[in-house]
Structure 1
């Protein structure tokens, strides 16, 4: 189901196969106009990420490599797609090419949520019963580990203006 950004009106209901956790994004330009939306990614219990062309409703590519259910997805403004999985890894893809550029390892549990910084240079990942990790997208290295929650971090985000 695709929702208009400003009006919250259902624009199109497409029945895609499999149980899927959906993340919507448009690398580069974001607009409430559905004509400018071009890519939707879905993560599934079959361990894959599928990239769909919203205009044609056709699958563009299938991204494979996770060894567990895909639980979280996030697009960057630079066109990268991050996927988190029950296998404890985060994979960073170039979805238009169909290849992974990084496999980020270090979480001891499944990855719950992902967030790219506004400029796309940094990625945050939070895992079940684990810490939040901050990754440098130019190297694929973990640059910070944030601990302190008594239980799982359920979400993570960056400030819009990168104030801190």
Structure 2
């Protein structure tokens, strides 16, 4: 099934939680599609440069062309609410992330973030979250929604208490800007990845017990080297026992979450760097997409290439597997 996004260069794509809808974000428009028929259902009002589904699939939170955050209805594509940056924040909103239960939303603009109540009126919760010295590139909530983490171009990540907006710890172990962040399914670990070629596995109990106030360094984490340098994407497996790392080479690495030891390395089926990767919901498969336009399916246990998906003529920027 092929869907042709005509709204400029495609920058992201995401399936809804139930797998029935597809959200595509391009440089000229954001669209919602029927993932079964491939039919375009609607364009998002005011356009979109970033977006993601709410856990119930009823909303899209993201950023419009004017740099102001938006909430869109997935039933109509209409704007339901504006999510502006803090009054003194002159930069555009760049990302929006829901908590797993859909009760909270985090938006980022420049070096500041804002927590929102997402269960009702979408009102801001307290003042903006400040402390980063450069732009926030990624963010995530812990599975229970109690913590939020922001990853910045300033080479640090910050752990925030969602209820109060208090910065609990600054995670310092990287020497360059961070690219992505992820919580383990149990909420006991956090991954950070950077263009410095390192991935850090943070044990949150050790982080919170760090003696230096509000600071955790390398003593609270396991530091791993990405094959090829830049770490493009890291994600925990659904059971939390391992995580995958896609970096600046033609393969993929899988590490044990507890030991930090490399468990599996697969390579040889992509012609260029792997840009993105994702586990299947049961953790048995990994799907990878590369800059050469190729997509591959792998066994997460044996590393065997199970399938080669063709159809793209340019770089693959997003991959996802949903159970329906």
Give the TM bin, normalised by the shorter chain: 0.7 to 0.9
**Unmatched runs of 5 consecutive residues or more in structure 1:** 31-36
Among 212, 219, 236, which residue is 1:158 paired with? Answer: 236
Post-superposition offset of 1:154: 1.2
Instruction: State the match for 1:42 in structure 2.
Output: 107
Find the structure with the greater CA-based Rg: 2
CA RMSD of aligned residues (A): 1.9
Deviations 1:54-100 (A, max 9, x none): 22121113211111111110111232101011111110010211101
Correspondence 1:2-151 to 2 at 5 A: 5-6=17-18, 7-8=20-21, 11=59, 12-13=71-72, 14-17=81-84, 18-26=92-100, 30=101, 37-45=102-110, 47-54=111-118, 55-61=120-126, 62-78=128-144, 79-140=146-207, 141-151=219-229
Q: Which residue is equivalent to 1:33? A: none
* Other structure's SS at 2:154 match: coil
Q: Which has the higher contact order (CA 8 A, sep 6+)?
A: 1
Q: Is the 8 A contact 2:197 2:226 kept in 1?
A: no
Q: Secondary structure at the match of 1:138?
A: helix
8 Å contact kept, 2:201–2:221:
yes
- Structure 2: which 5+ residue stretches go unaligned? 1-14, 22-56, 60-70, 73-80, 85-91, 208-218, 243-324
Check the 8 A contact 2:157/2:170 in 1, yes or no: yes
- Deviations along 1:87-129, one digit per CA (max 9) or x if unpaired, are 1111001021110111000111111100111111110100113
Tell me the TM-score normalized by structure 1. 0.83
When the two structures are superposed, what TM-score results if normalisation uses the length of structure 2? 0.44
Query: Matches of 2:95 and 2:109 in 1, distance apart?
Result: 6
- Count of aligned pairs between the two proteins: 152
